[in-house]
Amino acid sequence: MTFEEHLRALVYFHLEEHHSAQHLLQVLEEDDFAKSEIAPENGIKKSSFSEATNSRGLEQFMHVFQNLQAQAAEILPKQHPELGNLMGIDGSLINASLSMHWADYRKKSKKAKVHVGFDLNQAIPRRIYLTDGKGAERPFVNLILSEGQTGVMDRGYQSHKHFDQWQRDRKSFMCRIKASTKKTIIRESPTAPGSIVFFDAIVILGTTEINRTKEPLRLVGYEVDRVKYWIATNRVDLTAEQIAAAYKLRWDIENFFAWWKRHLKVYHLIARSEHGLMVQILAGLITYLLLAIYCHREFNERVSIKRVRQLRIKIQNELRASMYDKPPDSNSKEQQLREVNAKT
């Protein structure tokens, strides 16, 4: 099985929502479209599919993913260019089986964790890393962020030591912090009447000699639906209202995780090794990027399950149409279908 055949099979797995590797292989053997357009000419044996997924192709899948996200970045419009290049950063757990010994989490529970950098302006994944379920999230900020990008993170990333380090490394960030965090005000700015913003100041965070930041940073407080948000950032080029708007976009990465897991079947594992799971995850992200490009070009929309379902129907309709272009074969399913249609 070539890499192209392997990639095609895994994209088909995610697009058609198969629930296991066995289900995929059965479809590739029995479904007319899958057999003619997706599967290798001589079919795929379970052992060959497993061997390819668990030990081959990782560099090639990463190469395809990186090239596709670069293409998507050129094609898809930026929804909020005035806010700069915003990179939502978060980790998400994936349930693993007990046989996946590398996916350490807790006793009688195995989980892996994906660490994703998600472009909030263009709604596409940009960076991906995989660890066991207990893998720390903050160290991946430096790996995910590139020059000119701003990391947007939830309270799980609050670390005054890391805030200082990111500033020394010239990494831009916006991170929600706990409301109880001690704040020493250096310089406070006025807020506009009627604005959701109630606080805007340059501060030092934390308690002296315990966890205090050494570098001053900006702190913006705003309120939505009676919930107060405190956002620590080193972006001083934006208004306080723009900081609030940028942080609200962070929910897009949560929506991406939910959609990706639900509709592209990330939880339906087809591999048990760390290598194999990374191949499966990359194949899912490749499928998502292909859908993002397709939905923009065809409908000028973001990815939606409505358009995915329409695409599945379109594929099946094109299969039926193509049946009539093939030479007749009295023993084929296509010929049988023609005879049924002729009678009806």
Average pLDDT, the chain: 89
Q: What is the pLDDT of residue 208?
A: 85
Q: How far apart are CA 252 and CA 104, in angstroms?
A: 28
What is residue 315's predicted lDDT score, i.e. its pLDDT? 72
Confidence at residue 258, expressed as pLDDT on a 0 to 100 scale: 83
Which residue did the predictor score with more confidence, 38 or 265? 38
Residue 186: which domain range?
81-259
Q: Which amino acid is at 339?
A: E
Considering only CA atoms, which of 117, 141, 143, 115 is closest in space to residue 129? 115
Are 159 and 300 within one domain? no
Q: Is residue 316 part of a domain?
A: yes
In-domain check, residue 227: yes
pLDDT digit string, tens, across residues 207-248: 988 899 999 999 999 999 999 999 999 999 999 999 999 999
Clarify whether residues 168 and 25 are in a common domain.
no
267 domain residue, yes or no: no
230: β partners = 177, 221
Residue 338 domain-assigned (yes or no): no
Q: Is the pTM of this model over 0.85?
A: yes
Q: Domain check: are 128 and 197 in the same one?
A: yes
Instruction: Report the percent of the chain where pLDDT is more than 70.
Output: 91
User: Is 108 within the bounds of a domain?
Assistant: yes
Same domain, 52 and 178: no
pLDDT value at 87 more than 80? yes
206 plus 96 within the same structural domain: yes
**Distance of alpha carbon 190 from alpha carbon 267, whole angstroms:** 48
Task: Report helix, strand or coil for 140.
Answer: helix
pLDDT of residue 338: 47
Do 86 and 49 sit in the same domain of this protein?
A: no
* Position 271 in a domain: no
pLDDT of 39 strictly over 80? yes
pLDDT exceeds cutoff 60 at 337 = no
CA diameter of the chain: 87
Residues 112 and 244 in one domain: yes
Asked, for residue 344, whether it belongs to a domain, the answer is: no
pLDDT band at 127 (very low <50, low <70, confident <90, very high): very high
Q: Does 182 share its domain with 283?
A: no
Q: Does 290 lie in the same domain as 246?
A: no
Q: Tell me the per-residue pLDDT of 147-204, one tens digit each, with 9 for 90 and over.
A: 899 999 999 999 999 999 999 999 999 999 999 999 999 999 999 999 999 999 999 9
Instruction: Please give the tally of structural domains in the chain.
Output: 2
